[in-house]
Amino acid sequence: MSSILTNTGAMVALQSMKSINKNLGMVQAEISTGKSVASAKDNSAVWAISKVMESDVKGFKGISDSLALGSSTVTVARKASETVTNLLTEIKGKIVAAQESNVDRGKIQTDIVALRDQITSVVGAAQFNGLNLVDGSQSTVNVLSSLDRSGTSVTSSSITIDAQNLSSTAGAALTAGGGTLSSPTVATGTPQTLNGFAFQGAGPALAKNAPTAAPATLTALIEGDQISLKIGSTEGKYTVQKGDTADSLVSGLKSSLTSNGLSDSDFTLSLTSGALTVANNTNTAAALSVSTTRGTGALAGLNTIDVETAPASALTAIEGMIDSAIDSAASFGSDQKRIDIQKEFVGELTDALKAGIGSLVDADMEEASARLQSLQVQQQLGTQALSIANQAPQNVLSLFR
């Protein structure tokens, strides 16, 4: 049946044209963007997965930068340790020469002092971006090394670098109070002064809802010493630096405790009138302890070497210092090797993630090109079919001639 009111052929041809044009638009979008999944409406599940992976790639880029910074820092420390080892070896040669009784030990001592000063210069200059791993100002340094994903949970991992103390002095005394902590008087709870502030308390336990702290048995603090304050199962550590005051010590301990998981709302640290107060705001008693680790440099004995008066003891002392310097260089070399391996792995992992994202969302350009050609031909045929269908009513006029 022919009808001038309802052109079924034109309707079919028009629907085909719409479908062809829609597909053609999608192919053109793939070609122009290079992606088969450019937005969430294209494929929400694949798009979501790709975005999570892209965020991980961005995170690993930051980790790669962190590893590069860590590697450079350790490289400087390793070079310094190796240089110190070479200088100590030179000093040993001069000490050995001084064992003869018919040599000018005064001139040899002058050379040793010059080499000692050079070692001090090397150790002091061995910093990268302000971080020195050989002067005793640090105990450990964490280098961000990985992001570990388990489902929707992401945690970070770090490589811990053990710093080495190759300083040739015993360290500088702290300012403001001399850094002395007297022996504790637990029975009376007498405050024990440490560099202008006090550890107060009459017992080793921090009672519930009580502003108290335990006394401690620390000697005079020097640069490089590490103070440890443990509250419950959380421990905070701070390495003493030259020029530290009571405020900086408390701030360092508080920052370390907080970063290690101590809740500010459960326990609060404050410095009032020179006294460090730890307040327990919970309903459970918590053990509390304070301790310190001496930070004397491994080369502290270098200052007392004197081949004019004690050449034999100087030889014994220099052997121990050389061993310390060698151990330091070896430790930094091992750490640097590990960082470099991790850096290479992170680079390869990033490339693998990028390839995985590409396989999910990138357009297959060969397939897109073939589909484009096919759809263009279909579009031309559809246009012809629609034109023929639109002429059908004209043919009806021939029936009335």
List, for residues 37-82, the tens digit of each pLDDT value. 877 877 888 888 888 888 888 888 889 999 999 999 999 999 999 9
3-class secondary structure, 232: coil
Could you tell me the maximum CA-CA distance found in the chain, to the nearest angstrom? 142
Mean pLDDT to the nearest integer, 114-126: 91
Asked if 151 contacts 194 with a C-beta cutoff of 8 angstroms, the reply is: no
Block residue for tokens 């509390």: 288
Tokens coding 255: 């920052």
Asked if 11 contacts 394 with a C-beta cutoff of 8 angstroms, the reply is: no
d(CA 81, CA 135): 11
User: Minimum mean pLDDT among 114-123, 166-175, 331-340: which range?
Assistant: 166-175
Tokens coding 211: 């502003």
User: Minimum mean pLDDT among 14-28, 96-110, 313-327, 332-346: which range?
Assistant: 14-28
Mean pLDDT to the nearest integer, 309-315: 82
Q: What amino acid occupies position 296?
A: T
Residues 6+ apart with CB under 8 A from 144: 62, 63, 66, 67, 70, 156, 157, 158
CB atoms within 10 A of CB 161: 23
What is the residue extent of each domain of the chain? 8-34+363-400, 47-151+299-356, 171-293
Selecting from 1.20.1330.10, 3.40.640.10, 3.40.50.1010, 3.10.450.50, what CATH number does the domain 47-151+299-356 have? 1.20.1330.10
Flag whether pLDDT at 201 surpasses 70.
Answer: no
Flag whether pLDDT at 118 surpasses 90.
Answer: yes
Residues 6+ apart with CB under 8 A from 26: none
Based on the number of CB atoms within 10 Å of its own CB, is 379 exposed (0-12), middle (13-18) or buried (19 or more)?
A: middle
What confidence category does residue 326 fall into, taking pLDDT thresholds of 50, 70 and 90? very high
Q: What amino acid occupies position 65?
A: D
**Predicted pLDDT of residue 102:** 83
- What percentage of the chain reaches a pLDDT higher than 90? 19
Flag whether pLDDT at 206 surpasses 70.
Answer: no
Based on the number of CB atoms within 10 Å of its own CB, is 62 exposed (0-12), middle (13-18) or buried (19 or more)?
A: exposed
d(CA 343, CA 349): 10
What confidence category does residue 122 fall into, taking pLDDT thresholds of 50, 70 and 90? very high
H, E, C per residue of 73-109: HHHHHHHHHHHHHHHHHHHHHHHHHCCCCCCCHHHHH
338 versus 36: the higher-pLDDT residue is 338
392 versus 344: the higher-pLDDT residue is 344
Flag whether pLDDT at 231 surpasses 50.
Answer: yes
**Predicted pLDDT of residue 82:** 95
CB atoms within 10 A of CB 2: 11
d(CA 280, CA 211): 6
251 versus 127: the higher-pLDDT residue is 127
Asked if 216 contacts 184 with a C-beta cutoff of 8 angstroms, the reply is: yes
Asked if 45 contacts 52 with a C-beta cutoff of 8 angstroms, the reply is: no
Query: Cα 14 vs. chain centroid, distance in angstroms?
Result: 62
Task: Please state the φ and ψ torsions of residue 137, each to the nearest 5 degrees.
Answer: -80, -10
d(CA 56, CA 260): 25
Asked if 302 contacts 122 with a C-beta cutoff of 8 angstroms, the reply is: no
Give ∠ CA 35-38-44 in degrees, rounded to 5: 125
**Predicted pLDDT of residue 51:** 86
Concatenate the DSSP letters of all residues of 240-309 into one string: --TT--HHHHHHHHHHHHHHTT--TTTEEEEEETTEEEEEE-SSS-EEEEEEEE----TTGGGGG--TTT
Q: What is the mean pLDDT of the chain?
A: 77
Flag whether pLDDT at 168 surpasses 80.
Answer: no
Tokens coding 129: 């971006």
Residues 6+ apart with CB under 8 A from 254: 236, 269
Asked if 281 contacts 209 with a C-beta cutoff of 8 angstroms, the reply is: yes
d(CA 345, CA 36): 29
**Predicted pLDDT of residue 373:** 83
